[in-house]
Amino acid sequence: MKIAVIGGTGLIGSQVVEELRAAGHEAVPHAKSTGVDVLGGQGLDEAPAGADVVVDLTNSPTSDADTVRLPATPVQPIAAAGVASAVAEVAAGAPLNGVRDIAGPGVFPLDELGRLTLSRKGDDRTVVTDPTAGMFALVKGDVLTDPKARLAPTRYTDRLA
């Protein structure tokens, strides 16, 4: 199967490309650095040409702020390897005609997750709890309860350690 992976040079995308190739598929990475820009539209007509499946794994760049502002929205962080396995499995499998939810095994308020992460990395920036900050402020942050959801095994605190 030919699979175009937009964002295929990124942390998740490059692992998805690797997994798909190992499974015998023709996985083709595309990204801004290869001339495909999902915001400007450059290369977007050509990238999916001839592909059976298109996977979008782009991410927006972040800026370095003096403080970090995060809401206390509950999230279930998942390891990159767990995301890559789930995406590769769905990309190469029969069409779901639906949505498969995936998440990590633990639930954290996002502001606490930020404090934990920065402190483990020796980053002395302060996390300010801000219920209006970023895209996670707009969602309720439901945790996954659907029995069909896929929970990856690795705990966030184990990854940090």
Ligand X SMILES: NC(=O)c1ccc[n+]([C@@H]2O[C@H](COP(=O)([O-])OP(=O)(O)OC[C@H]3O[C@@H](n4cnc5c(N)ncnc54)[C@H](OP(=O)(O)O)[C@@H]3O)[C@@H](O)[C@H]2O)c1
Residues near ligand X (CB under 6 A) are: 7, 9-13, 31-33, 36-39, 57-59, 78, 80, 83
In the bound complex, what is the minimum distance in angstroms from residue 20's beta carbon to ligand X?
15
As a 3-state breakdown, the chain gives helix, strand, coil percent values, each rounded to 5, of 30, 15, 55
Judged by beta carbon, residue 39 or residue 49, the one nearer ligand X is 39
Judged by beta carbon, residue 101 or residue 130, the one nearer ligand X is 101
Residue with the two structure tokens 């083709």: 28
Q: Are 108 and 75 in contact (CB under 8 A)?
A: yes
In the bound complex, what is the minimum distance in angstroms from residue 37's beta carbon to ligand X?
4
Judged by beta carbon, residue 2 or residue 32, the one nearer ligand X is 32
Look at residue 18 and give its three-state secondary structure. Answer: helix
CA atoms of 78 and 117, how far apart (whole Å): 14
Angle subtended by helix axes 11-22 and 80-92, to nearest 10: 50
In the bound complex, what is the minimum distance in angstroms from residue 160's beta carbon to ligand X?
12
In the bound complex, what is the minimum distance in angstroms from residue 126's beta carbon to ligand X?
23
Judged by beta carbon, residue 47 or residue 127, the one nearer ligand X is 47
